[in-house]
Structure 1
Amino acid sequence: MRTPLGWAADRWTLSPRVLRWATTFALVMGVLIVLGGGIVRVTGSGLGCPTWPECEAGSLTATPELGIHGFIEFANRTLTDVLVISVACVIIAARLQKPRVRSITRLAWSQFWLVVANAVVGGVSVLAKLNPYVVALHFIMAMALLTAIALTWHRVHEQPDRPREVRSVAKSLSWLTLAVTFVLICAGTLATGSGPHSGQAPDGSPVQRMGFDWLAVTWVHGLLAGATLALGILLVLILRAPGEKVARERAWFFVAAVVVQGVIGVVQATTGLPAVLVILHVVGAGLVWIGAVRLILDVQPGLFPSVHIGGPGAVTADSAQARAAVR
């Protein structure tokens, strides 16, 4: 059966530049949706819209009676709509490439389904009155979305013919760095869920918190941050060969992101968790995760190789599989 996108692809073609801009748009929106979630949390607006998918019974939008909290929560839901539009742009731009690269189209659709899944989890968190574990899952799902977006961005922006020769020890270390970074982010959700910014109802009454000791979880989170930084620095020191230049540059970026994030974390923990710093720390977590994903993509270039899009050098998944079969 012919799909609308297939019908459109038979008639129109979009340039690779459009696809690159679309993936950048989606990447920016992915970070902004994390920012929006942080603002909702620190302002206590998680129940500003008391139900879902409506904002309140009988109204999809916030009403004046819901006040500033309703406005903030509804604005965050509207931001999700813009995110959906950005992902739709990636899907359309990927499908209307000539020739089509099926792996990019699949990645684009994975972004869409992750947005839908995370919206449902966000709705469940409202219906569950901001259960801290559901809220933590909501954040982890946002990191999964950033992963798909970063993978797509990498596929269409990086030059596939750049020389990449990385030693096996660096590849193993990059996997360890990614794993520790993920545990670090999970520990961050436990620290937030146990602390004073774990959310509140619009009337100011606290919501359910995780039953962990906030100081102990914060120390564990800090130790994991130190381990992540040490792994990043070790990668910088190991990646010294000429063919490892791209990977070394990515490792430096990752180290810088972890350092900035660590400074923000220490300052916020020692100054009473001011709302602005908490928001910056939430956004920083997303940027650190993107850095970890891009680090492993450059340290292991054969794991998820970028491709030519458009022009005579373009390849499709089908043609690549055919060549592999011939070999």
Structure 2
Amino acid sequence: MSLPNITIPVELPIDIPTLLHPAVVHFVIAIPVVIILLEIINLFFKKRALSIFSLFLVIVLAVVMSMAYFTGVVDGKETFMALASEGQAELKEHKLLGIYLTYASLALVAFKLLFMAFSKTLARLFFLLILIGFTAVTLKQGKEGGELVYTYGANNEAVNTVQSELDDLQDEYDELEEKQKELSEKSSEGDTETATKLQELQVKYDELVKSSEKEAEEPVAVVSEEATTTEVTESSEEPTETVTPTVEHPEELNSSVEPTEEATAEVSTEAVNLEIPSDSNESNDSNY
């Protein structure tokens, strides 16, 4: 059987830190037990001072119960999304029962004031029974709160999850910081390397420019020297004409040189005359 939903339409004007609820609920569980013991003792001693002290503790119980409710709301909001579906349902029931106990603690103060007006033992017994019932429900509420913490991980799981996430983020931050240092060192080294390379390239460029200028000046000097030498040679040399002597042979000399027909005839007859004796000699030899 589920209880009807009720709320407490009061919000505190201050911010409540998380994880105060476990510390407060210990007083919520302990104070009702102390009040029960005082009421039992007062049944026998019937002292006005014990009754007033019991009233003071009941008022303190109402204040502490209200503090337990508000601190529980803060912790519940922080851990609701971290719970499973069953844990969320248990947390809602735990909150609803806490609201009823908060109203019950205020009602307990009213009952105590009412029964203090009667000095009869019956009124004290009736208040004692109400107080025992209230304490029993409070203990049940404490048991369910413990199940939320240890079974479903309320607060415990959330804190562990948040802590693990913080550790992971810290590790990632450290890694990023190391990478940033490495990149900064590499960038500084790269800047120095590029600067030296640029200087080397500048020196090489200057050398190439100087060598090209020298090479460009040398052909100009050679051309100028050749031009001057050609001018000197042209001025020193004079044009000379080659004269081929022509020898004229007089016709008389040619005619005197050419052999006459008579001379050739004589030469031929002489050759014939010379051959004839050779033939006669051969014939003589054969006859001999």
TM-score bracket relative to the smaller structure: 0.3 to 0.5
TM-score normalised according to structure 2 size:
0.42
Kindly indicate whether structure 1 or structure 2 has the higher relative contact order, using CA contacts under 8 Å at least 6 residues apart: 1
Larger Rg: 2
Structure with the bigger percentage of helix = 2
TM-score normalised according to structure 1 size:
0.37
